[in-house]
Amino acid sequence: MLFYWFFTNFVPVKIILAIETSCDDTSASVCIDGKIASNVAATQVIHAKHGGVIPELASRAHDELIIPVILEALENANTSLDKINAIAVTEGPGLMGSLLVGVNVAKGLAFGLNIPIITIHHMHAHIMAHFIDEPIPDFPFLCLTVSGGHSQIVLMKSHFDLEILGNTIDDAAGEAFDKAAKLLGLPYPGGPYIDTFGKLGNHKKFTFSKPRIDGFNYSFSGFKTSLLYFLQKQDENFIVENLNDLCASVNYTIVEILLDKFKKAVKETGVKNVALAGGVSANSYLREMFKTYALNHKLEAFIPNFQYCTDNAGMIAITGWYKFLEKRFAANNFSPKARIPLITENL
Ligand code: KG4
Ligand code: ZN
Cβ–ligand 1 distance for 195 under 6 Å, the answer yes
Q: CA 211, 267, 164, 315 torsion: positive or negative?
A: positive
SS3 at position 127: helix
Ligand 1 atom closest to the CA of 172, numbered from 1:
12
> How far, in Å, from the CA of 210 to the mean position of ligand 2?
25
* pLDDT score recorded for residue 278: 96
Measured distance CA(152)–CA(165) in Å, rounded? 8
Measured distance CA(299)–CA(86) in Å, rounded? 37
Q: Which ligand is nearest to the CA of 304?
A: 1
Cβ–ligand 1 distance for 188 under 6 Å, the answer no
* pLDDT score recorded for residue 86: 98
Q: CA 53, 211, 242, 292 torsion: positive or negative?
A: negative
> How far, in Å, from the CA of 69 to the mean position of ligand 2?
18
What tens-digit pLDDT sequence spans the chain (347 residues)?
666 566 556 667 999 999 999 998 999 999 999 999 999 999 877 777 777 888 889 899 999 999 999 999 999 999 999 999 999 999 999 999 999 999 999 999 999 999 999 999 999 999 999 999 999 999 999 999 999 989 999 999 999 999 999 999 999 999 999 999 999 999 999 999 999 999 999 999 999 999 988 899 999 999 999 999 999 999 999 999 999 999 999 999 999 999 999 999 999 999 999 999 999 999 999 999 999 999 999 999 999 999 999 999 999 999 999 999 999 999 989 999 999 999 999 99
Question: 69-113, pLDDT tens digit by residue?
Answer: 999 999 999 999 999 999 999 999 999 999 999 999 999 999 999
> How far, in Å, from the CA of 112 to the mean position of ligand 1?
35
Measured distance CA(179)–CA(191) in Å, rounded? 9
Cβ–ligand 1 distance for 168 under 6 Å, the answer no
Cβ–ligand 1 distance for 137 under 6 Å, the answer no
* pLDDT score recorded for residue 214: 87
Ligand 1 atom closest to the CA of 25, numbered from 1:
3
Cβ atoms of 19 and 125 closer than 8 Å = no
* pLDDT score recorded for residue 46: 75
Measured distance CA(345)–CA(244) in Å, rounded? 45
CA 151 centroid distance within chain: 11
| Per-residue buried b or exposed e for 132-170, using 16+ beta carbons within 10 Å of the residue's own CB | beeeebeebbbbbbbbbbbbbbbbbeebbebebbbbbee
pTM above 0.85, yes or no: yes
Cβ atoms of 226 and 209 closer than 8 Å = yes
Question: 284-341, pLDDT tens digit by residue?
Answer: 999 999 999 999 999 999 999 999 999 999 999 999 999 999 999 999 899 999 999 9
Distances (CA, A) of 98 to 26, 52, 63, 278, 299: 9, 15, 9, 19, 38
Which of 57, 21, 16 is closest to 38 using CA atoms?
16
Measured distance CA(24)–CA(52) in Å, rounded? 10
